[in-house]
Amino acid sequence: MIAKLDSMLLPRKKFLYHYKNVRWARGRHETYLCFVVKRRVGPDSLSFDFGHLRNRNGCHVELLFLRHLSTLCPGLSGYGFHGERRVSYSITWFCSWSPCANCSSRLVQFLKQTPNLRLRIFVSRLYFCDMEDSREREGLRLLKKVGVHITVMSYKDFFYCWQTFVAQQSKFKAWEDLHRNSVRLARKLNRILQPCDTEDLRDAFKLLGL
């Protein structure tokens, strides 16, 4: 049992390499996704599962996760006796990259027809989000729109992941600039998710007295 559990844990070096939130993440040709699944059956029965995945064979890790979802979340789809959804799940995942445009749109599609699933996404780095009009940025906004909470990982999140998903013998030690990078990325994500329709612009102008 212990051995099985150990093999589910992420090697220390892999975690540090892939989750490092450096500005120029050269050579990260893999993406890791650490997840926690919570299942609510009755008013107070709560169970718990966790693990990690990485992309394989050209398949992005988010889509791989969706493929595993029915096994991970029994009773997620389908209906109970009286036509009501039977089981509610909440999933939190921590991904080394934010989702690409295609993965975002697939997730949005899935979540729209699965209201009994709540998803919270933490990301270490933002994937192709430099251009103002990038499809990746739009994808993140669509995720927000269907109720996904997307957050940039901070020290406490890396710490939690280290405790939960990593085969470690030592306490988590922050790399140089972890905090600075996290703050920079969080600001960038906020700007991306900031609603910017005309209504809001009008309010902003009013506020500025223009």
- Catalytic sites, residue numbers: 62
Interface with DNA (CB under 7 A), residue from 2, 4, 7, 27: 27
Can you tell me the distance from the alpha carbon of 193 to that of 197, in angstroms, rounded to the nearest whole number? 12
Ramachandran quadrant class, 137 (left: phi over 0; alpha: psi -120 to 50; beta: rest): alpha
Where are the strands (E) in the chain, listed by range? Answer: 10-11, 32-40, 46-54, 88-97, 117-125, 149-152, 166-167
Specify the residue, 87 or 150, whose C-beta has the smaller distance to DNA: 150
- Is 67 a residue that touches DNA (CB under 7 A)? no
Where are the strands (E) in 20-98, listed by range? Answer: 32-40, 46-54, 88-97
Looking at this protein, which amino acid is placed at residue 41?
V
- Is 13 a residue that touches DNA (CB under 7 A)? no
Interface with DNA (CB under 7 A), residue from 21, 92, 98, 182: 98
Residue bearing tokens 């506020």: 207
- Is 173 a residue that touches DNA (CB under 7 A)? no
Interface with DNA (CB under 7 A), residue from 15, 35, 94, 127: 127
Specify the residue, 39 or 122, whose C-beta has the smaller distance to DNA: 122
Specify the residue, 27 or 83, whose C-beta has the smaller distance to DNA: 27
At 173 the three-state DSSP class reads: coil
- Is 26 a residue that touches DNA (CB under 7 A)? yes
- In the complex, the smallest distance separating the C-beta of residue 184 from DNA, rounded to whole angstroms, is 12
- Is 35 a residue that touches DNA (CB under 7 A)? no
- In the complex, the smallest distance separating the C-beta of residue 14 from DNA, rounded to whole angstroms, is 13
- Is 31 a residue that touches DNA (CB under 7 A)? yes
Q: What is the DSSP letter of 85?
A: B
Q: From the centroid of its chain, how far is CA 1?
A: 28
- Is 130 a residue that touches DNA (CB under 7 A)? yes
Can you tell me the distance from the alpha carbon of 166 to that of 6, in angstroms, rounded to the nearest whole number? 9
- Is 43 a residue that touches DNA (CB under 7 A)? no
* Through-space distance between the first and last CA atoms of the chain, rounded to whole angstroms: 66
Interface with DNA (CB under 7 A), residue from 97, 158, 162, 165: 97
Interface with DNA (CB under 7 A), residue from 110, 128, 159, 160: 128
Distances (CA, A) of 146 to 72, 111, 120, 160, 165: 22, 7, 11, 26, 28
- Is 157 a residue that touches DNA (CB under 7 A)? no
Looking at this protein, which amino acid is placed at residue 180?
R
Name the site residues for DNA (rule: CB under 7 A).
Answer: 23-31, 55, 58, 60-62, 95, 97-100, 103, 125-128, 130
